[in-house]
Structure 1
Amino acid sequence: MQSIRNIAIIAHVDHGKTTLVDKIIHASKIFRENQEFNDLLLDNNDLERERGITILAKNVSVRYKGIKINIIDTPGHADFGGEVERVLKMADGVILLVDAFEGPMPQTRFVLGKALNLGLKPIVVVNKVDKENCRPDEVHESVFDLMFNLGATEDQLDFVTMYGSSKQGWMGPDFRNPTDSILPLIDAIVEHIPEAPRPEGIPQMQVTSLDYSAYQGRIAIGRVFRGELKEGANMALTKADGSIKKVKIKELHVFEGLGKLKVESVSAGDICAVTGLDDFEIGDTLTDAENPEPLERIAVDEPTMSMLFTINNSPFFGKEGKFVTSRHIRDRLMKETEKNLALRVVETDSEDKFLVFGRGILHLSVLIETMRREGYELQVGQPQVIFKEIDGQKCEPVEILVVDVPEATSGKVIELVTQRKGELLIMEPKGDLQHLEFNIPSRGIIGLRNNVLTATAGEAIMTHRFKAYEPYKGPIPGRLSGSLISMETGTTTAYAIDKLQDRGFFFVDPGEEIYMGQVIGEHTRGNDLTVNVLKGKKLTNMRASGSDDNVKIAPKINFSLEESMEYIQGDEYLEVTPKSIRMRKIYLDENERNRMSKKETVA
């Protein structure tokens, strides 16, 4: 039986994780000499490449000296925390990749902490030692300090360190003596990462992630922890509620290079993909039909937030997108639920409106951003948390919010969180940072991340996990200022914007096309104000010296997709098209808005 190593790679954005995997793949001669390949093989969607966050964990494998190495790519972002823990369960060791100049970064800390708690053996790779001003020795010390602060064991602290440059394709134990290949790193993996155990007995495979194929349906991916799986075998699938379902393995695939290889059997220690299982969930165990033995379940966070998705019915609809009908949007959302675990879609009583339930703002925004890039036009409503009635009492989702922040700014963070009904549970030093833990309603987290990062100069690390439904905590202060709304459809003029600057801040520049009812700025007061930003200066043949040519307009405020989602009010929609993001009132006509608000007041 061949020896197997399962290794996960942890790194911060832009530290070279994907480039390193590329070089390992090339070194193991997966590509034929004449075959062409692209760089960044793993981050294969544009969104991942741009944001620098691996959203979906991927698997590749290489063979070296008769040993199979399964490489598992991990998402580095805390909002995909559920994904991280599941993925690390498949590994026996981790490569921690850090930049020789920047050193370990905040997000690395989150994933590394999870890996150390699971008892995984680390190998540290200090990358980019060819950069100017790099400081490999100091970075090595800071990695040691970080692991010590995260409570690593003595065995974990006795880690091997490799230095090199993924881009130039070399790694070695000493950065002063560059080698000519990446093979010393692969040798270190083989030598120091424990071999995957191969226990015999009743087969057990836990489903840790899933894939979807138009031909084969849903595909279960996971590691075989014990025994052997065989093609065509009758097995049992143990579910979350304790029930056991009889299933049959249709096909088995192992990961080979960048693709999959069909095999007849998979033994313990390897990672495989199984087709033919319908109706499975993450955490289910595939085991023997006669003597089922389930593994301990992995928790998948349940959705805590919902957003209304609807067709784009603004005056500018259909100008930029290819897919604009409710049928297009329904089909796309249903396709997403096949492989996006924490996402649920519920149809409403209206044909063109869908309620989409997700884990948080980032989770939902990645879906919206992916859809707009694919050519969809849609509108989304204000994010809402999901309330439940338990024993006759209104309850809301409460999350445990963990913030690690430098001591100097911890006071600001506590103030921001308590304003949003957060309760401080724990405050303790954690190495060089203050570790804060809060109970906070999910409503309070909307819009909080930006405020916290601003207050801490970007140094706070925020993670939140769903805790439970608890009694409603009362109103939370939202946005204090009203909206500036366009009175007419047309092109904005510098003259009109200049004259209205004392009324608020604008989200549009002169010369932009806008429509009636579009939210074009933030009012300085709490009420909404309808303004005309289209009118030009009355033209006469007299020239007023000194006042005509000195229009000074503050630059418009640019919102990212997430910021826009957090900014809109309950009576507003966010219009999302492949090229634009616009905020608008649900009712574009001012008279209709007034009529509807009176109806709501009466009701």
Structure 2
Amino acid sequence: MATELSKIRNFSIIAHIDHGKSTLADRLIQRTGGLSEREMSSQVLDNMDIEKERGITIKAQTVRLDWKGHVLNLMDTPGHVDFAYEVSRSLAACEGALLVVDAAQGVEAQTLANVYQSIEHDHEIIPVINKIDLPSAEPEKVRHEIEEIIGIDASNAVLASAKSGIGIEEILDAIVERIPAPKGDADAPLKAMLVDSWYDSYLGVVILVRVIDGTIKKGQQIKFMAAGTTHLIDRVGAFRPKIEQLPDLGPGEIGFITAQIKEVAQARVGDTLTDAKRPTPHALPGFKEVQPVVFCGLFPVDAADFEKLRESISRLRLNDASFSFEMETSAALGFGFRCGFLGLLHLEIIQERLTREYDLDLITTAPSVVYKIKLTHNNGEIELHNPADMPDPTKIEEIEEPWIQAVIYVPDEYLGSILKLCQERRGIQKNLTYVGGRAQVTYELPLNEVVFDFYDRLKSLSKGYASFDYEQIGHRAGDLVKMGILVNEEPVDALSMIVHRATAEVRGRGMVERLKELIPRHLFKIPIQAAIGGKVIARETISAMRKDVTAKCYGGDATRKRKLLEKQKKGKAKMREYGSVSIPQEAFIAALRMGEE
């Protein structure tokens, strides 16, 4: 039977990366008897190796806990800006949130973005100051920071240490006392939110749902309102965190269903589920299609691995509907795929999973963003994902690039170098405020400048203390040009990129210098050029390897030596005409690491 509404508490945990969210979830599961001591492993809810190693959550997970006669549904949300939409849906499924802040680090950018989303959903927020047993912990300072920056009362914040198990019972009691019970009508037509979905090789697609009104039970015919498809439910249950099958889920409850769905793409996050025979008139608000933001090409190092890459990407796609791919070919790299990602972390995770789980060696081309190109003579507008497909410059009226609004938190002593970095990347400063000893800077930046290596530079300039969060603010026209790289007068399409005219020369020079170091010497001279259209803006030459053909001449007439050198020169000219240049894989990887000099 469905649980009584007044006994249910639905909450999520909000925290910046590495503030102890997953460890706290582990302790809550352990304390409520979800798993025995023997079954516990660290980061129970993070089931990918990458999640455990990096200490980040990539997929939202849920677990049902029992505490003093109440049912607590915990939603573990991703902590990174790339997954902001998933976080918004997870928060919409809850009535309250635990705000976990590291007692040594204080409030950081991602915490803030998610807290404001939580406040928008009208949540009851319980501040938890974690890691109070660290030598560098300053709980009082952090309490003050929470009040000052976020503007919520932290006088009754729970002091805890998830690692040592301090304050866990107090957190559980606070959830029961302070978070309101959900509202819902069991007799109304079924209305449930699809919070997340993933592929299981035994069960097919597993769908995480939060029931708002009505009940959901086995054998019921349900309809996905945004997708317009109907399915028959064959299993209903909850995670404790082990799977427990249930007869039904009532209003306010969070659990999972399976309905013989084969592809995650059919079960889109944020969709509304309703009864096919007795549908609800209005879908839940907030649903949107997730659009990839960053694109790059993935090519196998060994061309024979192409089929393996195709199969691996298709399998990953089963589990991650926000990742898109289509086939592309490149003169330099052969066959591969043009893939779209939610952001740079998402790109890195997919690439790492392909390398690890499917044992593939990959070359990744420089990441690019989606440009909107207005064509002359009213020929409309096209979207450009790959710089190699750029139309002829004479047909282009203007190019628009995506811009973002970035909020950066940085300790005062690193502020100067961070401001300089943002200025170099064509940033427009919007705001600068101080909270304690930390500055909060708001900048508008072109996304093109951020996808390169902005995050790495930000972290290295601030010794890892700066935190960064962004949201898209639309497209703006800019003076953008396509910069091509020519090696031995042959264009290498995989290295072409779209750059701002003002920074093109610096980018081009950096690229050709880097390639000069990386491409091995051949028996003939190799020019490396960066060009915009027909104009070369930077050039380096790799000198030829030289065999000493005059070594056998001892004394005698100088014309003998000259004759041999002339013969060698002709041979080299011929070789240059027919010779091909092999570009090592590092050269392509180095293309991503531009601007670190």
TM-score normalised according to structure 2 size: 0.71
Aligned: 1:231 with 2:218: yes
Which residue among 118, 134, 147 is the counterpart of 1:115? 118
Aligned: 1:197 with 2:183: yes
Q: 1:396 to 1:463 in 2, by over 3 A?
A: farther
What displacement does 1:528 show?
Answer: 4.2
Is there any run of 5+ residues in structure 2 with no aligned partner, and where? 383-398, 482-499, 529-536, 548-580, 592-597
2:365 corresponds to = 381
What displacement does 1:26 show?
Answer: 1.5
TM-score normalised according to structure 1 size: 0.71
> What is the letter of the counterpart of residue 264 of structure 1?
P
What displacement does 1:488 show?
Answer: 4.7
Identity of aligned residues (%): 25
SS of the counterpart of 1:328?
Answer: helix
2:284 corresponds to = 295
Aligned: 1:484 with 2:538: no
Q: Which deviations, in whole Å up to 9, do the C-alpha atoms of 1:435-456 show, x marking residues without a partner?
A: 4242625455433333444555
Aligned: 1:160 with 2:135: no
Matches within 5 A, 1:144-293: 144-148=147-151, 152=152, 157=153, 160-171=156-167, 182-200=168-186, 201-239=188-226, 244-255=228-239, 257-276=240-259, 278=261, 279-289=266-276, 290-292=278-280, 293=282
Distance in 2 of aligned mates of 1:573 and 1:195: 62
What displacement does 1:66 show?
Answer: 2.2
What displacement does 1:422 show?
Answer: 4.7
Matches within 5 A, 1:170-569: 170-171=166-167, 182-200=168-186, 201-239=188-226, 244-255=228-239, 257-276=240-259, 278=261, 279-289=266-276, 290-292=278-280, 293-313=282-302, 325-348=305-328, 352-374=335-357, 375-389=359-373, 392-393=380-381, 395-405=399-409, 416-417=421-422, 419-423=424-428, 426-427=430-431, 429=433, 433-438=439-444, 440-442=446-448, 445-454=451-460, 458=464, 460-471=466-477, 473-475=479-481, 476=500, 477=503, 479=507, 480-481=509-510, 482=512, 483-486=515-518, 488=520, 526-530=538-542
What displacement does 1:267 show?
Answer: 0.8
Larger radius of gyration between Structure 1 and Structure 2: 2
Give the conservation status (yes or no) of the 8 Å contact 1:236–1:246. yes
Aligned: 1:61 with 2:64: yes
What displacement does 1:464 show?
Answer: 2.9
Which residue among 6, 16, 20 is the counterpart of 2:10? 6
Distance in 2 of aligned mates of 1:79 and 1:574: 31
> What is the letter of the counterpart of residue 236 of structure 1?
K
What displacement does 1:346 show?
Answer: 0.8
Give the conservation status (yes or no) of the 8 Å contact 2:99–2:127. yes
Give the conservation status (yes or no) of the 8 Å contact 1:310–1:380. yes
Give the conservation status (yes or no) of the 8 Å contact 2:196–2:269. yes
> What is the letter of the counterpart of residue 484 of structure 1?
K
1:15 corresponds to = 19
Is there any run of 5+ residues in structure 1 with no aligned partner, and where? 172-181, 315-323, 491-516, 520-524, 536-570, 576-580, 587-603
Distance in 2 of aligned mates of 1:49 and 1:121: 29
Q: 1:138 to 1:418 in 2, by over 3 A?
A: closer
1:96 corresponds to = 99
Give the conservation status (yes or no) of the 8 Å contact 1:403–1:460. no
Q: 1:486 to 1:140 in 2, by over 3 A?
A: closer
Give the conservation status (yes or no) of the 8 Å contact 1:485–1:529. no
1:600 corresponds to = none
Q: Which deviations, in whole Å up to 9, do the C-alpha atoms of 1:396-437 show, x marking residues without a partner?
A: 45132222345887776566445545555x436475644424
> What is the letter of the counterpart of residue 381 of structure 1?
T
What displacement does 1:582 show?
Answer: 6.9
Distance in 2 of aligned mates of 1:102 and 1:194: 30
Distance in 1 of aligned mates of 2:200 and 2:125: 34
Q: 1:409 to 1:237 in 2, by over 3 A?
A: same
Q: How many equivalent residue pairs?
A: 483
Q: 1:572 to 1:448 in 2, by over 3 A?
A: farther
Q: 1:468 to 1:339 in 2, by over 3 A?
A: farther
Q: 1:220 to 1:529 in 2, by over 3 A?
A: farther
What displacement does 1:333 show?
Answer: 0.8
SS of the counterpart of 2:237?
Answer: strand
